[in-house]
């Protein structure tokens, strides 16, 4: 019992330490690299504002990895100090030593399920709302000093904005990666922000259009018209409300399933999203079941190799299988309730083999 408490305490301490380090590293680095590609059109100030909502999104991946590394190090140290041999020599089965720490995996799994059901959809929804708020303030505020706005595939500039009307507005739409673009200039224009469908509709007056212009040498084809409507797609920045499944609560997903107007493909996506929120909750327990035997099997001085092997199982095995299962579930190649649990099933088989090897030694 004393040994079991010691292992549980050591594992918990290692988990907290590793989790804290990973949270710090991911929180400080990922938003400014991964998010910058998606939200660079909005600005760095926006990245800072969404960091609090990004932390829970990162934690659901940090928790399983942290428990994996912690279990490899703790059980690896026991193996290195010949504690495992002493336990076996005393007649105590390793299952009794390992079993208490499984409670930690189950506890963390429950936390992850609660986060996936409640906090994660809220964070996705708030990130979307902040994105819309910032974009509206950039386009619809008369006091904005920056009048040259970058959007995915577009560059928009104007001289002034008063009373909901732009003056001397220019919209460049890039056609490819070779600086080929369509350029539209208008004396005046208004904009409608459709947040439901994630697009901007510009209604332009007194239009001059330069089509298929190449910055290198080609002469533009110039045309004029009294009015023109241009719709700018904002889905690369935020998803339309009806397609933003990660931001919906379970009750909203259930309501969509009951809606008879939901097409079959959409229904498969909704069911996949629902099952995914529960299946990821099993990850901490699975990673513990993998990390403990890997740590025990690790020889002296090779804990780094044990951690590397564990990461290999996770990076090459578990998460790719998660993505594959979500894909085949969303397309109904396999029923969603089976496809989403594919990664957990395969990982449990691997963990069972590793535990069998440890117990038989």
Rounded CA-CA distance 349/361 in Å is 19
pLDDT means per 10 residues, the chain with 361 residues, are: 56 57 55 54 64 78 80 76 72 72 84 88 85 74 64 81 82 69 82 84 81 53 73 81 81 78 74 88 86 75 63 78 89 87 89 83 69
Rounded CA-CA distance 111/37 in Å is 31
Give the pLDDT confidence score for residue 215 in this predicted structure: 46
Phi (first) and psi of residue 109, to 5 degrees: -65, -40
* Every domain of the chain and the residues it spans: 2-135+242-360, 153-233
- Where b means 16+ CB within 10 Å and e means fewer, 5-18 reads eebbebbeebbeeb
pTM listed for this prediction = 0.73
Place of tokens 């922000």: 193
Give the pLDDT confidence score for residue 313 in this predicted structure: 73
Give the pLDDT confidence score for residue 33 in this predicted structure: 54
Q: Under 8 Å CB-to-CB from 30, ≥6 apart: which residues?
A: 54, 58
């Amino acid at each position: 019992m004393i040994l079991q408490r010691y292992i549980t305490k050591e594992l918990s301490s290692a988990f907290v330490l590793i989790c804290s380090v990973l949270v710090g590293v991911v929180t400080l680095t990922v938003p400014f690299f991964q998010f910058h590609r998606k939200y660079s059109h909005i600005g760095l100030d926006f990245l800072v504002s969404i960091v609090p909502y990004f932390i829970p999104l990162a934690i659901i991946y940090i928790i399983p990895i942290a428990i994996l590394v912690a279990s490899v190090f703790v059980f690896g140290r026991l193996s290195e100090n010949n504690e495992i041999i002493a336990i076996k020599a005393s007649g105590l089965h390793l299952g009794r030593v390992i079993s208490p720490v499984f409670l930690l995996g189950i506890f963390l799994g429950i936390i992850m399920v609660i986060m996936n059901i409640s906090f994660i959809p809220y964070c996705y929804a708030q990130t979307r709302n902040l994105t819309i708020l910032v974009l509206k303030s950039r386009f619809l505020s008369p006091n904005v000093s920056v009048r040259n706005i970058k959007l995915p595939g577009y560059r928009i500039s104007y001289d002034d904005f008063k009373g909901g009307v732009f003056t001397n507005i220019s919209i460049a739409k890039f056609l490819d990666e070779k600086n080929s673009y369509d350029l539209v200039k208008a004396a005046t224009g208004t904009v409608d922000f459709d947040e439901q469908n994630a697009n901007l509709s510009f209604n332009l007056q007194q239009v001059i259009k330069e089509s298929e212009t190449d910055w290198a040498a080609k002469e533009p084809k110039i045309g004029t018209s009294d009015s023109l409507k241009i719709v700018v797609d904002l889905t690369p920045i935020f998803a339309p409300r009806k397609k933003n499944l990660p931001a919906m609560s379970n009750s909203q997903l259930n309501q969509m399933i009951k809606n008879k107007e939901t097409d079959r493909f959409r229904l498969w996506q909704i069911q996949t999203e629902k099952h995914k929120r529960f299946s990821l909750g099993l990850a901490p327990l699975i990673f513990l079941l993998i990390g403990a035997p890997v740590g025990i099997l690790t020889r002296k001085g090779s804990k780094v190799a044990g951690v590397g092997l564990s990461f290999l199982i996770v990076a090459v095995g578990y998460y790719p299988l998660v993505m594959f299962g979500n894909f085949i579930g969303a397309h109904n190649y396999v029923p969603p309730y089976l496809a989403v649990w594919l990664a957990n099933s395969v990982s449990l088989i691997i963990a069972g083999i590793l535990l069998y090897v440890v117990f038989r030694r």
